[in-house]
């Protein structure tokens, strides 16, 4: 059943040929600032109706009832035929996220629905998350006098390549593997070399699967890329970090590996997210609720990118920049490098770990509690590069 506000929006839409109706994930930053009438239409007579909904509650019935022109989502809303089959109005889908595995882009193209995602929006946020995890668990790697860290990076897109830049700044050795990119100074190793020769392995790949019935199935599937076979290649001392997509790691194989090796593992994403079992959680060195990219800058940048794309779709001039909304930032990367003891002040990752573990009840973390942590997360700041 539609609530009163939604019903009013539908009536307003029916009464106005100059209105735009937007259904949006309520977890998208600064929706009203970017997507009001003056920002989109720049015409006083135009109205923009924004219906905000929890991402997992955006469903086919809602879209069939409301018939929005625009759908704005994050990673928790799968978009494809199941969602849009009974909707004839959506002409633009924007995902304020880097990843796109939750969107059937072929289906949208067949329906002539424009799609935009926020590629690169949180590349510094996630890279800084990874650095914080490494240096929280292994602070000795701040010291240039010790044997430098060998950081293995699997996936060298926006995030992986940004992480490599930070690693180079710290004097670390980088072993990178990305079969979709040409060989370079960073893309310099095989998968086996990255796994077997790194002190830390960090995953930055999209979620893809091998589909034998589909010629567009990936030649380099990443689902369960890390399983019993690949884990066996990694030395027990190698720290494993996943801030990409949960199913990239086979959770059952990971649990068995930690039992066998006592490996340190950091997970921000989980195979069966948003539920997390106690048996897995108890074995992790650090666990956080899919917030690696949750900074003020990363969130605003994500909204900015899909706002700009919608303005292009509507053939109007963008008039708002995220920099107009940013508060003063005093977190400088140069300061942190000079004073490593201030890391906790820059980002206290163990606070996020404790918040997640506090939700454990009856042998698991429930999906509603996981989502609440994300929704209520106090956005941290990116370190200024």
Residues with catalytic roles: 245, 273, 290
Please state, in angstroms and rounded to a whole number, the distance separating the CA atoms of residues 174 and 153.
7
Residues linked to residue 51 through DSSP beta bridges, in sequence order = 23
Please state, in angstroms and rounded to a whole number, the distance separating the CA atoms of residues 85 and 255.
39
Question: Which tokens sit at 170?
Answer: 């710290």
Query: What is the distance of C-alpha 367 from the center of its chain?
Result: 17
Place of tokens 């009001």: 36
Taking the CA atoms of residue 369, residue 371, residue 376 and residue 380 in that order, the dihedral angle to the nearest 10 degrees is 120
Please state, in angstroms and rounded to a whole number, the distance separating the CA atoms of residues 320 and 303.
11
Residue pair 99/356 in contact by the 8 Å Cβ criterion = no
Place of tokens 């720049």: 42
How many other β-carbons are positioned within 10 Å of the β-carbon of residue 14? 10
How many other β-carbons are positioned within 10 Å of the β-carbon of residue 350? 15
Query: What is the distance of C-alpha 19 from the center of its chain?
Result: 31
Residues in the chain: 385
**CA separation, residue 167 to residues 25, 127, 130, 350, 385 (Å):** 34, 10, 10, 22, 13
Element (H, E) at 114: strand 114-117
**CA separation, residue 350 to residues 134, 205, 284 (Å):** 12, 25, 12
Please state, in angstroms and rounded to a whole number, the distance separating the CA atoms of residues 206 and 179.
13
């Amino acid at each position: 059943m539609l609530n009163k506000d939604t019903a009013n929006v539908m009536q307003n839409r029916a009464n106005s040929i100059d209105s735009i109706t937007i259904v949006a994930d309520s977890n998208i930053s600064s929706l009203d600032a970017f997507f009001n009438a003056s920002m989109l239409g720049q015409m006083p007579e135009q109205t923009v109706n924004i219906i905000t909904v929890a991402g997992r509650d955006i469903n086919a019935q809602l879209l069939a009832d409301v018939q929005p022109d625009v759908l704005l989502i994050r990673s928790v809303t799968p978009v494809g035929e199941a969602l849009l089959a009974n909707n004839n109005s959506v002409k633009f889908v924007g995902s304020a996220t880097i990843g796109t595995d939750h969107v059937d882009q072929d289906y949208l193209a067949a329906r002539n629905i424009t799609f935009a995602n926020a590629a690169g929006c949180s590349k510094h946020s996630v890279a800084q998350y990874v650095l914080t995890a490494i240096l929280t668990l292994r602070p000795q790697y701040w010291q240039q006098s010790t044997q430098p860290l060998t950081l293995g990076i699997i996936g060298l897109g926006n995030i992986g390549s940004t992480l490599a830049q930070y690693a180079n700044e710290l004097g670390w050795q980088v072993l990178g593997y990305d079969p979709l990119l040409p060989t370079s100074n960073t893309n310099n190793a095989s998968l086996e070399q990255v796994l077997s020769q790194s002190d830390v392995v960090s995953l930055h790949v999209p979620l893809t699967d091998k589909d034998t019935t589909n010629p567009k199935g990936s030649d380099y599937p990443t689902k369960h890329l890390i399983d019993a076979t690949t884990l066996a290649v990694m030395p027990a001392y190698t720290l494993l970090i996943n801030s990409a997509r949960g199913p990239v790691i086979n959770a059952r194989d990971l649990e068995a590996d930690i039992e066998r090796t006592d490996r340190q593992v950091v997970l921000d994403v989980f195979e069966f997210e948003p539920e997390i079992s106690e048996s897995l959680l108890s074995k992790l060195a650090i666990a956080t609720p899919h917030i690696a990219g949750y900074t003020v800058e990363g969130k605003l940048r994500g909204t900015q990118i899909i706002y700009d794309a919608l303005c292009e779709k509507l053939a109007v001039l963008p008039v708002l920049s995220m920099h107009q909304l940013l508060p003063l930032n005093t977190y400088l990367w140069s300061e942190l490098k000079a004073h490593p003891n201030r890391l906790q002040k820059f980002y206290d990752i163990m606070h996020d770990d404790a918040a997640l573990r506090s939700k454990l009840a009856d042998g698991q973390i429930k999906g509603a509690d996981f989502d609440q942590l994300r929704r209520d997360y106090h956005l941290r700041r990116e370190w200024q590069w």
